[in-house]
Structure 1
Amino acid sequence: MINKRVGGVLAAALLVGVAALASPLAMAQDKARTLYLFNWSQYMDPAIIKAFEKQYDVKVVQTYYNSQPEMFAKLRAGGDSQYDVVVPSSYYVPRLIHTGLLQPLDKKAIPNYSNLMPRFSHPDYDPDGKYVAAYQWGDTGIAYNVDKLGEQPESWSILFDPKANAKYPFDLGTDAQVMLGSACAALGHGYDCTDRDQLKKAAQLILKTKQRRNFSGFEDATPTLKQLARGNIVAGVAYNGDYAFDKQENPQGYKHIKFIVPKEGAELWVDSMAIPAHAPHPRLANQFINFILDAKIGAQLSNYNAYASPNKAARPYLDKALTEPPIMPSDAEMKRLHFTPSIAGDQLQFVQQLWTEVQSR
């Protein structure tokens, strides 16, 4: 039998030793109970995050990006082992798959995958629905100040034709394929053009536009709307959901700003949830994706973001505004919208070289 006093000292010493050993273990456990989400900025309802954290007794850490190239670069630089869930746009999905940056979804852990509309469960950019689950969808068009420019035709001429705007500041988007596709459409070749001669002519149009005195610069779509609301520019490339969301938050600032889908053709995009190849917590990532695909959570996400939902089970819970333009494109607008082509290899290198020349000259 151990003397109580000595035993108490030994017990205290043992507790200190165990505590010292337990600290790294506790830290590891805390880390294991954390989901790392890599998402577009302003693209997630905080209440959804809190609900997931409560249901699974975990913590969610969010990191943000404002463009596809930024997201892709971070994943290639080691982010594929730092993040659990990422939200790429449709035409970047094949690029992520081909470069080995994504792992397949565990469909057994995602029974709510069946809630997706058929058009989103087997898309062209992931035909077997192996790597991604649709998150939100929408289109890319033009937002402009009606007071400054007057009522304009639904056309890319708002940006590319100096007759439409000869003196007020405007900007263009930062995404190579989206902008080259937009310029292709403006030239009558269609948004989804891939012909190299047509792409060269599109690059020349952007260069010519860039040389105008009132060209403000290249800007991501989300910040563009902020610049419009502040009156720093009068036109730029924007996302329909961002426009609707910001207008709802700041109706006075967006009173004279209009959003249009150019008649010559524009981008139809789908943002999807995917799991990076070396995600630290893939099991939790699959649970998170299943959580987002729940009918009511899916509706809550769209009601917050002001973007269209790919979730057919969410439809009864959606706000009415999400079933009408500009969130839900009209039949006429849908005919104008096209997916950005998924390209790789020499074609991708060609487009990247064109864009480098556009930005550097």
Structure 2
Amino acid sequence: MTSFMRAGLSRRAALRGGLGFAAGMASMTLTGCGSTEPNPAAAPKVKPVPDGDITWFTWDGYVAPEVVAGFEKKYGVKVTQTFFDSDDAMLQKLATGLPYDLVTNNSAYLARSIAGGLVRPFDYADLKNIDQLVPFFKNAPYDKGAERYSVPYGLSSTGYLVRKDKAETTRSWSDLWNSTAAKGHITVLPQMEETIGMSLLRNGKDLNSADEAEVTAAVDELIALKPALLNVSSDTENDVAGGNAWIAHTWPGTAYRIIKASKTPEVFDFVQPKEGVPFGGDLLTIGAKAKAPGTAMLFIDWVLEAENAARNVTATGYPNGTLSGDAQYAELVKDYPFLDMGTETYEQARWKDSPTGARLQMYTQQWNRFKA
């Protein structure tokens, strides 16, 4: 199974939505893990004032270069990007107390980041561009306590890309199991909660189920799917471009880049299955050990500005929960309406959460059964 499991290398290659392989996460301990209440020892709210250069812990290639350059020029500071390759690596590094100023966090991880005292609160009223946010995100389901810790940065549902000239679709998750034409040419993602969640939704269960019998049944069906798989990978662009993947479990941004790069875009469809789709996203947060939290907050405000938000969408291929950014995304995918995500999607979405405690251990054990 080692060669069967492959992971992508950058956020631009794949907007990850959760735990990656979850290796070691079951034993990882964070202060207050499982609680969504702020750590009482957390630092006070940040104010947006220049207080030094910043280090941004993020995915490689996940910002428009001109957005960073413009910020550096305006405020006379330097933005140094340092990269992680999975969300669990991000959380583990944060937990060691490294002094990252700005952190690309994940909506499924925010509660644990807050409970562990890993991020700092700030006041939306101090962001001059806060009205650029789509109203939903001013009280998002993952960040709606008395304090605010994040703004959205890159958002995505999860579905599957299909080669219509190679396989038929009934717009159901069951197509991955039932397509005889695509057998051996199907890929699923290596993110634990994405792939288990897909199987749970197919069975009519809660995306974030804590019922061990339901999760066991979902993983049993994933194991039954393995003979039909090409691989378990988020390197979807290479798998599809090479002609090897005909049904690929993936995200709309990845599908968009594949279709745009193809000489035969008409053969593709991106399906958001009728049983429901997982939804989540990346967030900008301020590290608890930040040396220049004020500059980090200024950068958050900078990327919310209308022109910068639109530039980032063009660079990343994902909507970002801002009015101008989401309008730019709609423009990008206007020729591919099956990729569009209107603002109503945010309200209707099944938002992923991150297993903790006994539930995390149970998910990890079940995921290891699938990987074996």
Q: Is the 8 A contact 1:158 1:164 kept in 2?
A: no
Secondary structure of 1:148's counterpart equals: coil
Structure 1: distance between partners of 2:99 and 2:127: 22
- Alignment partner, residue 244 of structure 2: 232
Structure index of larger Rg: 1
Q: 1:48 aligns with which of 67, 70, 78?
A: 67
Structure 1: distance between partners of 2:324 and 2:268: 33
| Residue 114 (str. 1) matches residue 126 (str. 2) | no
| Residue 345 (str. 1) matches residue 357 (str. 2) | yes
Q: Is the 8 A contact 2:169 2:175 kept in 1?
A: yes
Deviates more, 1:186-195 or 1:84-93: 186-195
Paired letter, 1:325: P
Q: 2:189 aligns with which of 173, 177, 189?
A: 173
- Alignment partner, residue 120 of structure 2: 103
Secondary structure of 1:88's counterpart equals: strand
- Alignment partner, residue 25 of structure 1: none
Q: Relative to structure 1, is the Cα distance of residues 143 and 74 closer, same or farther in structure 2, using a 3 angstrom cutoff?
A: farther
Q: CA deviation at 1:173?
A: 1.0
Q: Relative to structure 1, is the Cα distance of residues 109 and 322 closer, same or farther in structure 2, using a 3 angstrom cutoff?
A: farther
In structure 2, stretches of 5+ residues that fail to align are: 1-50
CA distances 1:53-79 after superposition (whole Å, capped 9, x unpaired): 211222222233443223223333x3x
- Alignment partner, residue 12 of structure 2: none
| Residue 266 (str. 1) matches residue 277 (str. 2) | yes
Secondary structure of 1:91's counterpart equals: coil
Higher RCO, 1 vs 2 (CA within 8 Å, ≥6 residues apart): 2
- Alignment partner, residue 102 of structure 2: 85
Q: Relative to structure 1, is the Cα distance of residues 238 and 66 closer, same or farther in structure 2, using a 3 angstrom cutoff?
A: farther
| Residue 193 (str. 1) matches residue 173 (str. 2) | no
| Residue 64 (str. 1) matches residue 83 (str. 2) | yes
Paired letter, 2:361: Q
Backbone CA RMSD of aligned residues: 2.8
Secondary structure of 1:81's counterpart equals: coil
Q: CA deviation at 1:253?
A: 6.8
- Alignment partner, residue 155 of structure 2: 137
Secondary structure of 2:160's counterpart equals: strand
1:1-361 matches, within 5 Å, as: 33-76=52-95, 78=96, 80-105=97-122, 107=124, 109-128=126-145, 130-149=148-167, 151-161=168-178, 163=180, 165-166=182-183, 168-210=184-226, 212=227, 214-220=228-234, 223-248=235-260, 250-252=261-263, 256-312=267-323, 320-321=331-332, 325-329=337-341, 337-359=349-371, 361=372
Deviates more, 1:280-289 or 1:238-247: 238-247
Structure 1: distance between partners of 2:199 and 2:85: 22
Q: CA deviation at 1:44?
A: 1.2
Structure 1: distance between partners of 2:329 and 2:369: 44
Q: Report how many residues are paired.
A: 320
Structure 1: distance between partners of 2:283 and 2:132: 14
Structure 1: distance between partners of 2:342 and 2:306: 24
- Alignment partner, residue 32 of structure 2: none
Q: CA deviation at 1:237?
A: 1.7
Structure 2: distance between partners of 1:175 and 1:242: 15
Q: CA deviation at 1:257?
A: 3.2
Structure 2: distance between partners of 1:336 and 1:228: 30
Q: CA deviation at 1:148?
A: 2.4
CA distances 1:276-320 after superposition (whole Å, capped 9, x unpaired): 221232121111101011122112222332322311365676662
Q: CA deviation at 1:93?
A: 1.1
- Alignment partner, residue 18 of structure 1: none
Q: CA deviation at 1:357?
A: 2.6
Q: Relative to structure 1, is the Cα distance of residues 196 and 165 closer, same or farther in structure 2, using a 3 angstrom cutoff?
A: same
Q: Relative to structure 1, is the Cα distance of residues 94 and 254 closer, same or farther in structure 2, using a 3 angstrom cutoff?
A: farther
- Alignment partner, residue 42 of structure 2: none
- Alignment partner, residue 40 of structure 2: none
Q: Is the 8 A contact 1:170 1:233 kept in 2?
A: yes
Q: Is the 8 A contact 2:163 2:246 kept in 1?
A: yes
TM-score (structure 2 length as normaliser) = 0.76
Secondary structure of 1:147's counterpart equals: coil
Q: Is the 8 A contact 1:84 1:281 kept in 2?
A: yes
Structure 1: distance between partners of 2:158 and 2:331: 21
Q: Relative to structure 1, is the Cα distance of residues 195 and 335 closer, same or farther in structure 2, using a 3 angstrom cutoff?
A: farther
Q: Which has the higher helix share?
A: 1
Structure 1: distance between partners of 2:268 and 2:84: 25
Q: CA deviation at 1:108?
A: 5.8
Paired letter, 1:55: K
Paired letter, 1:209: L
Q: Is the 8 A contact 2:111 2:142 kept in 1?
A: yes
In structure 1, stretches of 5+ residues that fail to align are: 1-31
Secondary structure of 2:281's counterpart equals: strand
Q: Is the 8 A contact 1:169 1:233 kept in 2?
A: yes
Q: Is the 8 A contact 1:138 1:307 kept in 2?
A: yes
Structure 2: distance between partners of 1:102 and 1:330: 30
- Alignment partner, residue 31 of structure 2: none
